[in-house]
Structure 1
Amino acid sequence: MNLIRKTPWATGPRAAACLLSMALLSGCATYWDVQRADRLLAQGQTDAALAMLAGLAKQDPAQHRLRYLQVRDGALRELLSNARQLASRGKSAEAEEVYRAMLRIDPQNELALSGIDALVRGAREAEQLAKAIAALKDGDTDGALDALHAVLSANPGHPEAQRLQQGIELQRNRGLAADPVLSDALRKPVTLELRDVALPTVLEILSRTSNVNFILDKDVKNDIRTTIFAKNTSVADALNLVLRTNQLARKVLNDSTLLIYTDNEEKRRHYEELVIRTFHLKNADPRKMQELVKTMIAPKSMYVDDRFKMMIVRDNLDVIAATERLVAAYDVADPEVLLEVEILEINANGLLNAGIQYPDRLAVGVKASAGVPGQLTVDELRGLNRNSFQLFLPDPLLVLNLKQTGEDSKTLANPRIRVSNRQKAKVLIGDKVPVITTTINQNSSASTESISYLDVGLKLEVTPEIHVNSEVTIAIDLEVSSVVKEIRSTTGLLAYQIGTRNANTVLRLRDGETQVLAGLIKDEQGHSSAGIPGLGEVPGVGRVFSNQTDTKGRSEIVLLITPRIVRAMPMPSAHVLEFPSGTFDNALVRPMRLTPGGQYGGTPAAPLPPEAGP
């Protein structure tokens, strides 16, 4: 049997002291580790500080884990912000390094992983975008669209790819809608002297001259004969003149081929290609815009959406071009004006009180032996003498009044009103007074009461109209009212007597000009007199025996108004204000014109030009 002998220091006070010393040393070490981690953070050594705090959090999670998580999340937020800034500036490699640093701190960080994926995807998109741009430079629009489609399939919101795709599609649509550009040979000068010649013969001559092919519609009659005398004119002008004078039209198929057809409604519907254009209106009412376009141009098809302020037009390019100019001229912002209004109510009240104020009564009393005035016995009544009477006078007996007062006061309202052109603006400064109305039913004799409210105070209504020359016409309606007194009817209903002053006018001011409207005056005068009857009315000395009070009140309303134009009346550009619109039957922004300097003739009886040969 082995006996283990315990040493005295293992169980005694020495053991407790040893354990306490070890705890103190451990606490001191933890404190200094935290201080060292803070110094590393201040020096920018985030990785080392986080490693130290992570070790402390493992040793004592309750004490240090929260601090570790706070420092870690702050470092991740700063790294994420730096990575996104680098990526936005196109520094993908540096941004990826920052994302990798985030993963070293938190290997499962979703933002860092998605950021790296976005960088990889962005590199592929940039490669495809470069291919699209190179294909556009080479004229390969199909190849460019394929590359852009690859980009938009992975990232539908890519702004640069969307912009390039929209530009290509717009250019392609315009190219398909517009007529192909004809050969330069059509601008070659030609001289024609043809009298009563069949149309196919004229077209054959023009074809040999310009190397342009003509295809005739089956309904174009071969027996059409024409006469034309033209000298030093282009082939295109001569062709247009022949077609227009014979009620024919053309359609360009390519740079060297034209289709000739009869110019009537049926053939135009068959051959004329139409374009759909959507107009998003900014300011104009879509219904009014539709009415304007229908009146002036009458396109083939129109649709209006009031919710989106959108107008869709379907017609040929000439009608679309004319509609664009009408929209540009009509769809403009309403002008606005800032009205600086100052309203003053000037009150002048005066009071004059002058004269001697006499007592209005004197009293005489009888004093009894009991000391109570007015209570006498029969014996006391028999023994009355002059000492029994008392004279009661007011104190003071006379008052000399010499008083004159005056008062001037101003009540100011200074609103600033911004209002659109030809819109009404209202300002009310005052109260709404309730008015009770009783209605009696004649059949049942039952009564019902209803309450309406009457505006009392200062009410201003203005309607401006802004002109092109920066002048403003303003319709002004000013009303100032107040409750004079309350009137109660026999049935107990309360009514009000309203005093009012109003002015209505229309004036025209320049921008920044101030106009003063005054003269709404209300005068009140009063006179009262109190004195000795008879003596107070004696001329000259009447004031010695009377007291007279004169009152005067005067109130005037003054309005000052200044218009300041915030947005002036817009003026469209000159090409929108006036442009060709074609003939009565066809809307054209490109009218038929002949080459300047040429000489033309088109009737069989027309003489030949002087320089023309036989």
Structure 2
Amino acid sequence: MNPVHFAYRANFLADPIRHSLKIVSLAVLATGLYGCAGYTDWRQGNKLIEKGQISQGLEQLQRASKENPERYRMKFIAERDSQVQLLMQKAAAARANGQADEALAAYQQVLRYDPQHAEAMRGVSLIAREQRERTELDEARTTLAKGDTATARQLLNTVLSENPRHREANAMLQQIDAQSTRATMMLPALNQSLQKPVTLELKDVDIRSVLSILTQTSGIGFVLDKDVSPGLRTTIYARDTPVIDALNLILQTSQLDRKVLNDTTMLIYPSTEEKKKRYDDLVVRSYYLNSADPQKIQDMLRTIVAPKSMYVDARLKMLVVRETETVQETIARLLNLYDIANSEVILDVEVLEVNTNDLLKLGIQFPDTVSARIVGPTGVAGALTLGDLSHLNRNSFPLTFPDPLAVLNLRQTSSSTRTLANPRIRVINREKASVMIGDKVPVITSTVNQTSSAITESVNYLDVGLKLDVEPEVHVDNDVTIKVALEVSNIVKEVRSSATGLLAYQIGTRNANTVLRLHEGETQVLAGLIQNNTQESGTHIPGLGKIPLLGRLFSNTSDTSTRSEIVLLITPHIARSLAVPNAYAQTFASGTAEQVSNRPLRLPPAARYSDSDNLPPPGAGNSAASSTATPSASGAQAAIGSLSASSASGSPQSNSPETIRFDLAAPSRATPNTAFTVNLLANGPGFENAQLDLVLDQPGIQLLKVEPRDGIAFEARQDNNVIHITVGQAAANGSLGMLTLQAKQKSKFPVILSLQNTKVLHNDAQLSSTVALPKQLTVSD
């Protein structure tokens, strides 16, 4: 071969190889460079995150994911989500602690990493709303402090329109509503001068003149409705009577009514339905019931007070009434009496069923039958010909006896079963409770369709076992009346229908129904449900079995005795007794047949109950008005003139003695059979003699000792629940004497100690006196 040609061919073959190697090298280099792309950023980003520079670190990681998305994008997303989760937790904690700025910064940082993060965007909007609400709340507080409730209410409503559950805004709005309602509902307080005693002796005087006299006495102004008749006249004789009571009596007898406008002004108008609709202020009040039936409450209120408007919501057990404040007070007192929790009782029940079975089988049991046959030459019983009869012998008559021929029975069995059910049932008063212990036996019935003749079967279940129904009634004295219905049943036998093949059951039952009244904790036993079954049977060999004594050898007897007895024990335990209100709550004044009122129409005596805050100060005199007016206008003017002159001159006739106030210092709690002391106090001027009664609303309190104060005659004697007290001359305020009392037993309700029937004399004149509110004494261990 030509060497030149050979060299040429070698170079020609080497060039493609070198070219391929270059391509592969470039590909490998490109792949290596691509794999290294983003690695530096990823490593730097992780280092920054480890140092706590989260923002810069995530930016480096994001740059690495863009340079090499196939390798770093999923890692970047996972790291970003992890950091976002930590930032969201930080923001939530900051919001919970009230650090709005820190929370906002965390949310904004999350949005920098993930601009579409829905929870972060919601957090930013919530913080903006909270800042807006805070500004509006501050402005509402400022306007409320200035007394501008309308603007404050508008700002709060704006806050609540965006956030109905805003606690602070709701609280402020409730405060504004409460203040507004209180200001609207608060009745004007009458001037204290209306409690001054006044003496009126007026005969046939026109009503305007009488009101003028009361104006001069008490300082109260009167506005008369245009329909008050100018010729209306009245007559009144009252001595030492408070102005307000005298005014009420005058208005009632003159068919007039009043409305308090402020502490010094009253409106007088005719007591007609039209005027009452015009002037009476109606109040809407909601009552939420606890235990009472709303429908029954509605019926009761319609019967007793007949409110103008009333609505009942049975779902909420709520009663809404629109009436005057006086009627609302009466309704509230009635509901306090009626809406009390129903009593409950726990019934301990024990049911015992004792079954006794005795069986005695004694004797020799012989076979009932012996069979005889005729066998012919063929060996077949009964197959004979007339010719075979001549060949009969004793072997042609085989006898067949049962095997065994006789059985000796020596068997006696006894069994006793005891079934005990001890349910403990808690029942509301006058509600039924039922206990069933046993089985539900299926009873299949078939029905034939008249048209298609198809038969369908249905299954009903029959209760078999022990069934107890009770209905208790708890009385006020903690006795319990119980209606008891006890039924014990069992399956006697199964009965199968011959026509349909269906299975039925014969049920044996024993029932007891009674009503009994037991004390709390008393156990009653109901027994006597006894069932005795005795069965005697025997088999004998005829003739031989009837031989005396020897007949037992040819007889087999079976005696069966079954006895079943049911015993019921029931014990009531009162879980919640009826909370009967005390006597003072059960009885209260309700006005007249025409008008509901919480004050009776009467003139109280000089001694009356009064709150210590409403007592006239010592030394306060009471004005008197005396007149012998004749039925003429001049007579009325003379009466007014007489009053004015008497008041101006300050004569002794117009000044009544000062008021003496009696009070008790008594403990609030006492122990049975342990002595305690009650101190009688007086506040006011001196007196020569005083008589008053200490009334106890419950028996069981005994007076042990009387201890007068030094220099004061102090005596007391007990007459059942009343202690009559007599006090001699006393010239100073303070204690008059002490009574040592003792309670004999515990009391279910607090004992009320009240001072009544006071009579105070000084210089042969009766002084005005008041007593403090009654005291309550709880007697318990």
TM-score band by shorter chain is: 0.7 to 0.9
Q: Summarize the Cα distance change of 1:98–1:405 in structure 2 as closer, same or farther, 3 Å threshold.
A: farther
C-alpha distance in structure 2 between counterparts of 1:266 and 1:48, whole Å = 84
1:294 maps to 2:302: yes
C-alpha distance in structure 1 between counterparts of 2:350 and 2:75, whole Å = 63
| 1:564 CA drift (Å) | 5.5
1:518 maps to 2:532: no
Structure 1 range deviating more: 145-154 or 186-195: 186-195
1:285 maps to 2:293: yes
Aligned length: 600
What SS does the aligned partner of 1:403 have? Answer: strand
1:80-106 alpha-carbon deviations (Å, 9 max, x no partner): 455445434544344434434543443
User: In the alignment, which of 580, 584, 596 is matched to residue 587 of structure 1?
Assistant: 596
User: In the alignment, which of 471, 479, 482 is matched to residue 474 of structure 1?
Assistant: 482
C-alpha distance in structure 2 between counterparts of 1:424 and 1:526, whole Å = 41
C-alpha distance in structure 2 between counterparts of 1:312 and 1:579, whole Å = 23
What SS does the aligned partner of 1:408 have? Answer: strand
1:161 maps to 2:161: no
| 1:62 CA drift (Å) | 7.4
Cα contact 2:201–2:626 (8 A) shared by 1: no
User: In the alignment, which of 247, 257, 264 is matched to residue 249 of structure 1?
Assistant: 257
Question: Structure 2 counterpart of 1:175, which letter?
Answer: A
| 1:402 CA drift (Å) | 1.0
Cα contact 2:34–2:68 (8 A) shared by 1: no
Q: Summarize the Cα distance change of 1:339–1:332 in structure 2 as closer, same or farther, 3 Å threshold.
A: same
1:360 maps to 2:384: no
Alignment match, 1:457: 464
What SS does the aligned partner of 1:586 have? Answer: coil
C-alpha distance in structure 1 between counterparts of 2:518 and 2:73, whole Å = 75
C-alpha distance in structure 1 between counterparts of 2:85 and 2:529, whole Å = 70
1:508 maps to 2:534: no
User: In the alignment, which of 123, 136, 142 is matched to residue 115 of structure 1?
Assistant: 123
C-alpha distance in structure 2 between counterparts of 1:133 and 1:568, whole Å = 50
1:399 maps to 2:407: yes
Alignment match, 1:175: 183
Question: Structure 2 counterpart of 1:542, which letter?
Answer: G
1:539 maps to 2:548: yes
Cα contact 2:374–2:396 (8 A) shared by 1: yes
1:317 maps to 2:330: no
Question: Structure 2 counterpart of 1:523, which letter?
Answer: N
| 1:130 CA drift (Å) | 4.7
C-alpha distance in structure 2 between counterparts of 1:408 and 1:45, whole Å = 88
1:290-309 alpha-carbon deviations (Å, 9 max, x no partner): 21001111122333455554
Structure 1 range deviating more: 535-544 or 120-129: 120-129
Cα contact 1:230–1:599 (8 A) shared by 2: no
Q: Summarize the Cα distance change of 1:468–1:95 in structure 2 as closer, same or farther, 3 Å threshold.
A: farther
Question: Structure 1 counterpart of 2:549, which letter?
Answer: G
Question: Structure 2 counterpart of 1:585, which letter?
Answer: E
Structure 1 range deviating more: 260-269 or 450-459: 450-459
| 1:500 CA drift (Å) | 2.1
Structure 1 range deviating more: 420-429 or 580-589: 420-429
Structure 1 range deviating more: 313-322 or 197-206: 197-206
Alignment match, 1:96: 104
Question: Structure 1 counterpart of 2:417, which letter?
Answer: S
Question: Structure 1 counterpart of 2:21, which letter?
Answer: T
Q: Summarize the Cα distance change of 1:286–1:538 in structure 2 as closer, same or farther, 3 Å threshold.
A: same
| 1:502 CA drift (Å) | 1.2
1:327-350 alpha-carbon deviations (Å, 9 max, x no partner): 333334544455565545433222
Cα contact 1:79–1:99 (8 A) shared by 2: yes
Q: Summarize the Cα distance change of 1:365–1:215 in structure 2 as closer, same or farther, 3 Å threshold.
A: closer
Alignment match, 2:536: 527
What SS does the aligned partner of 2:414 have? Answer: strand
State the TM-score, normalized to the length of structure 1. Answer: 0.77
Answer 1 or 2: higher relative contact order, Cα 8 Å, separation at least 6: 1
Q: Summarize the Cα distance change of 1:244–1:167 in structure 2 as closer, same or farther, 3 Å threshold.
A: farther
C-alpha distance in structure 2 between counterparts of 1:339 and 1:67, whole Å = 71
Alignment match, 2:159: 151
C-alpha distance in structure 1 between counterparts of 2:196 and 2:331, whole Å = 34
Alignment match, 1:215: 223
1:553 maps to 2:552: no
C-alpha distance in structure 2 between counterparts of 1:45 and 1:544, whole Å = 115
Alignment match, 2:209: 201
Alignment match, 1:11: 21
What SS does the aligned partner of 2:369 have? Answer: coil
Q: Summarize the Cα distance change of 1:434–1:363 in structure 2 as closer, same or farther, 3 Å threshold.
A: closer
Cα contact 2:199–2:625 (8 A) shared by 1: no
Structure 1 range deviating more: 60-69 or 238-247: 60-69
Q: Summarize the Cα distance change of 1:580–1:603 in structure 2 as closer, same or farther, 3 Å threshold.
A: farther
| 1:259 CA drift (Å) | 1.6
User: In the alignment, which of 419, 422, 426 is matched to residue 430 of structure 2?
Assistant: 422
What SS does the aligned partner of 1:584 have? Answer: coil
Cα contact 1:243–1:249 (8 A) shared by 2: yes
Alignment match, 1:499: 508
Q: Summarize the Cα distance change of 1:140–1:180 in structure 2 as closer, same or farther, 3 Å threshold.
A: farther
Alignment match, 1:329: 337
Alignment match, 1:264: 272
Cα contact 1:177–1:274 (8 A) shared by 2: no
What SS does the aligned partner of 1:505 have? Answer: strand
Cα contact 1:513–1:563 (8 A) shared by 2: yes
Q: Summarize the Cα distance change of 1:189–1:472 in structure 2 as closer, same or farther, 3 Å threshold.
A: closer
What SS does the aligned partner of 1:397 have? Answer: coil
Question: Structure 2 counterpart of 1:481, which letter?
Answer: S
Q: Summarize the Cα distance change of 1:452–1:150 in structure 2 as closer, same or farther, 3 Å threshold.
A: closer
What SS does the aligned partner of 1:182 have? Answer: coil
Structure 1 range deviating more: 99-108 or 59-68: 59-68
Q: Any residues of structure 2 matched to 1:568-583 within 5 Å, and which?
A: 568-571=577-580, 577-583=586-592
C-alpha distance in structure 2 between counterparts of 1:17 and 1:449, whole Å = 86
What SS does the aligned partner of 2:292 have? Answer: coil
Structure 2 unaligned runs (5+)?
1-11, 608-621, 630-651, 656-781
C-alpha distance in structure 1 between counterparts of 2:573 and 2:19, whole Å = 99
Structure 1 range deviating more: 15-24 or 412-421: 15-24
State the TM-score, normalized to the length of structure 2. Answer: 0.63
Cα contact 1:177–1:273 (8 A) shared by 2: no
Structure 1 range deviating more: 545-554 or 141-150: 141-150
Alignment match, 1:608: none
Question: Structure 2 counterpart of 1:324, which letter?
Answer: A
C-alpha distance in structure 1 between counterparts of 2:506 and 2:255, whole Å = 81
| 1:5 CA drift (Å) | 6.6
Q: Summarize the Cα distance change of 1:382–1:54 in structure 2 as closer, same or farther, 3 Å threshold.
A: farther
Q: Summarize the Cα distance change of 1:13–1:165 in structure 2 as closer, same or farther, 3 Å threshold.
A: closer
Query: Once superposed, what is the RMSD of the aligned Cα atoms?
Result: 5.1
Cα contact 1:348–1:408 (8 A) shared by 2: yes
C-alpha distance in structure 2 between counterparts of 1:513 and 1:157, whole Å = 55
